[in-house]
Structure 1
Amino acid sequence: MVQFKNRYMVMDVLVDSNRETGDVDPIVLSGFNVTKAIKDSIQLNFGECGLASSLLSFQVKYVNPITKICIVRASRDDHKRIWAAITMVRSIGRCPVSFNLLDLSGCIRVCRRKALECDETKFE
């Protein structure tokens, strides 16, 4: 029996601080918002076939709205496509954002440790 292999990406969501705060609501990061933005980017850049093949194991596993760190799971075969689509995300809702890859691993335990380290450094 063949085991299904995944890749986990620890991402830092960078919110544009130069945006005008007049009529734009402040961003509230949630798993739903991040998932929708990534799926829209996959569909826009790789089409319906790319979206369908990427959705087999794609999942946003963890989102921290305070420190703006998230963990994304993807299959080993499609992780480069999802990573490329994530770098092309320019906004969540109407708020401009960009993503920064902090760690890429095949094990969620290692990604969880890296996310905790990043959370601790942001709180210090």
Structure 2
Amino acid sequence: MVRVKERYLLVNILYPRDGTTLDKASDGKDGNKEIPEFVAIRQATQSDLTRQLLVRGIKAEAQALFGDCGAGAIERTLSVKYFSLPTSTFILRITREHLRYVWTALTFMRSVPVRNGRPCIFRVARVGGTIRKVEEEAIRQARTLILATKAYMAGNKTSAFELLTRSTKAKGKGSAMTRRKDFVADIVSDDDGEDDNGDEDFEDGNGDGNDDEMDDDGDAHLNGDED
């Protein structure tokens, strides 16, 4: 029996700064204080965005890019396994052979797929063969963002930048092509093993609609090579 191999995508919704009050925070003394760039672009997503609308928007973009062939390829296998409005983060599941259709559609989407949706960028932060790998990266990102924000507010901007940027070690002579391969390998994991806890880590009871709370137990810091 042939097992269908799947891929899980961790996606961040990033918003450009527009100079509104969302880009400023009150410090209690000086009135408004500018918040860090890396915090401002990770604003909470519009409350009217749902899992169903998100999937519909991705399918519509795939239809525009690849026609009926692309839309039909992801029609039955694309699903949202986790979706958080406060953190603007979600996890998609798609079959491995149709991964590029979804990734390309996300790259070309330029606004939240709702009425009067705000301009945004859909950034694929991690691709893995099991949901556990993607879950660990989501937790690592959340923790790193908190630590970087604390460092920034304490006046240590250099430390905040180092926390948020994860360097990749170039091999050989360190050519541009080699560094590019290392960067892609850092995002994509070809682990095809089964998830220890199945694919229920991020789903609520009925699998749709409600926001899920992420379990933050255990060591979620990733090591360099996960394959």
Any gaps of 5 or more consecutive residues in structure 1? none
TM (norm. structure 1) is: 0.86
Q: Does 1:95 align with 2:118?
A: yes
Any gaps of 5 or more consecutive residues in structure 2? 22-44, 148-227
Pairing of 1:1-124 with structure 2 (within 5 A): 1-18=1-18, 27-28=46-47, 29-92=49-112, 93=114, 94-124=117-147
| Structure number having the greater strand percentage | 1
Instruction: Give the SS at the match of 1:95.
Output: coil
Q: Which amino acid aligns with 1:105?
A: G
Number of aligned residue pairs: give it: 120
Amino-acid identity (%): 28
Whether contact under 8 Å (1:12, 1:68) holds in the other structure is yes
Whether contact under 8 Å (1:41, 1:85) holds in the other structure is yes
Go from structure 1 to structure 2 and tell me whether the alpha carbon gap of 1:34 and 1:15 turns closer, same or farther (over 3 Å shift).
farther
Separation of aligned partners in 1, 2:53 and 2:143 = 24
Instruction: Give the SS at the match of 1:121.
Output: helix
Separation of aligned partners in 2, 1:117 and 1:41 = 30
Superposed displacement of residue 88, structure 1: 0.6
The CA RMSD measured in Å over matched residues stands at 2.0
Whether contact under 8 Å (2:59, 2:74) holds in the other structure is no
Superposed displacement of residue 50, structure 1: 1.2
Go from structure 1 to structure 2 and tell me whether the alpha carbon gap of 1:88 and 1:48 turns closer, same or farther (over 3 Å shift).
same
Q: Which has the higher contact order (CA 8 A, sep 6+)?
A: 1
Q: Computing the radius of gyration over CA atoms, which structure comes out larger, 1 or 2?
A: 2
Moved beyond 3 Å, runs of 4+ = none
